[in-house]
Amino acid sequence: MKDAAVPFRVVLVGCGKAGQRFLRALRYGACAERYLVTGLVDPMVDRLESVKGEANAYTDLATALEAERPDVAVVCVNEEFHWEALRKVLACRSIRHVVCEKPLTKDMAELQALGPAVWEKPVSVNFCERYSYIMDDYRDWLREHDAEVSRIEFFWGKYRVRDPRPTMGVLSELSHPLDLARVLLASPASELLELSAASSTFSDFSVTGLPAADDVSVTGSIDGVLVSGKSSFLWDERKRRIVVYACQKESGNTWQVVLNFDAPRWDDDSMVVYEINPCGGERQKVAEKRYRSSDLDPQVRHINKLYRYLLEVADTLAERGRSPRFADAADARWAQVALDEVASLAGDENTRGRYAALFGPEVSLTERKIEAEA
């Protein structure tokens, strides 16, 4: 049955890197049949002009919402502007679904300030790794082997020093592996992250020049399973890896499941499973799944997970398909609570004080470089 409202009218807010990835996905294939991007919003007029195509261009969101009466808003502005954009799109009567880049808001206070509106309209957050094919392989493998997860380690970061895009800091990056860890555990949003330790470093790495967290380490548990890992914006290259330990109670078999995302290019995802010998810990590879972006249709290459996410949003709008796997408002809130906990434990005066005793009140990456060169 065809939805009378198809194609859904879309206003996309923020036409930077993330926004342009969304645009590509919205304008391709089955997405293009279900969505019509009618309005684009960004204060950068040159950027708007270069991507607008058939859409109307606006520098003001309220004007765009008033003129376009969209069904869907896609919010891809920098994190510090999420709240303001969300407030406006949630108040727009025509909106039937809000797609938002992660994290939903910069912190919990902003989420609370959105009030009940965020629970009244369908909202989802772009934790797009949920749409990797290896997530299906992982679930199948766990089920086939009757395996239970006993521990999760993650490494999630990249190089973002003086990147021209303003950022709230590495907690934005950390939201991905935290969300994924909970999905890998199939744990409900009611089970909060129990944090036992977190530490962070701060520097002027961001283009804003203001001190922000650039690196964070976290140890805690979800549903009683130990989860620990690290996120950074100071690594030499992108790394998005989750290592899951799983065991089968009756046989005592133990496995290490290594999930790699976007390595080396977006959508180059892999899952490798090793069986661990209890005597000596020797590992034997027992399963391997690899997906190459080069095998995908070029039009959807490097945006495949995003494309699948958008198709599922369209299915829910048309009340079709199975229950969606996207991160909804409850999932977004879970991540927000976890990030706030990490921020208060890792960024408190005590941590900063100890850090300052070692390196001075704030580390300036650029000054250090100048010192080193002098």
Minimal distance in Å, beta carbon 305 to ligand NAD?
A: 9
Query: Does position 341 bind ligand NAD by CB under 6 A?
Result: no
Minimal distance in Å, beta carbon 90 to ligand NAD?
A: 15
Query: Does position 179 bind ligand NAD by CB under 6 A?
Result: no
- CA-only gyration radius of the chain, Å: 21
Decide if 267 contacts 305 (C-beta within 8 A): yes
C-beta of 68 vs 79, nearer to ligand NAD = 79
C-beta of 83 vs 255, nearer to ligand NAD = 83
**Structure tokens given for 212:** 């922000």
Minimal distance in Å, beta carbon 294 to ligand NAD?
A: 20
C-beta of 44 vs 286, nearer to ligand NAD = 44
- Specify the DSSP element, H or E, that contains 373: helix 365-373
Among 12, 26, 37, 78, binds ligand NAD (CB under 6 A): 78
C-beta of 204 vs 254, nearer to ligand NAD = 204
Among 77, 152, 317, 329, binds ligand NAD (CB under 6 A): 77
Query: Does position 15 bind ligand NAD by CB under 6 A?
Result: yes
Query: Does position 17 bind ligand NAD by CB under 6 A?
Result: yes
Query: Does position 206 bind ligand NAD by CB under 6 A?
Result: no
159-178: contacts with ligand NAD (CB under 6 A): 165, 172
297-326: contacts with ligand NAD (CB under 6 A): none
Q: 174: buried, middle or exposed (CB in 10 Å: 19+, 13-18, 0-12)? A: buried
CA distance 191 to 208: 35
Minimal distance in Å, beta carbon 47 to ligand NAD?
A: 5
Angle CA 323–329–335, to nearest 5:
110
C-alpha dihedral (91, 97, 98, 101), degrees to nearest 10: 170
What is the size of the binding site for ligand NAD (CB under 6 A)?
A: 25
Minimal distance in Å, beta carbon 183 to ligand NAD?
A: 14
Minimal distance in Å, beta carbon 207 to ligand NAD?
A: 9
Decide if 40 contacts 55 (C-beta within 8 A): yes
Contacts of 143 (CB under 8 A, 6+ apart): none
User: Which region among 8-16, 214-222, 296-304, 332-340 touches ligand NAD (by CB under 6 A)?
Assistant: 8-16
Query: Does position 220 bind ligand NAD by CB under 6 A?
Result: no
52-71: contacts with ligand NAD (CB under 6 A): 61
Decide if 220 contacts 228 (C-beta within 8 A): yes
Decide if 220 contacts 151 (C-beta within 8 A): no
C-beta of 41 vs 149, nearer to ligand NAD = 41
Among 25, 39, 88, 101, binds ligand NAD (CB under 6 A): 101
Minimal distance in Å, beta carbon 60 to ligand NAD?
A: 8
Long-range contacts at 91-94 (CB < 8 A, ≥ 24 apart): 91/117, 92/65, 94/9, 94/65, 94/69, 94/70
Query: Does position 14 bind ligand NAD by CB under 6 A?
Result: yes
CA distance 357 to 364: 15
28-57: contacts with ligand NAD (CB under 6 A): 41-44, 47
CA distance 208 to 124: 28
154: closest CA among 214, 224, 106, 220? Answer: 220
Query: Does position 128 bind ligand NAD by CB under 6 A?
Result: yes
Among 10, 18, 25, 311, binds ligand NAD (CB under 6 A): 18
32: closest CA among 320, 228, 314, 248? Answer: 314
Helices 304-317 and 17-26 pack at an angle, to 10 degrees, of: 60
Distances (CA, A) of 20 to 31, 87, 184, 223, 235: 15, 22, 29, 37, 25
Minimal distance in Å, beta carbon 70 to ligand NAD?
A: 14
The residues that touch ligand NAD, with contacts defined as CB under 6 A, are 13-19, 41-44, 47, 61, 76-79, 81, 85, 101-102, 126, 128, 165, 172
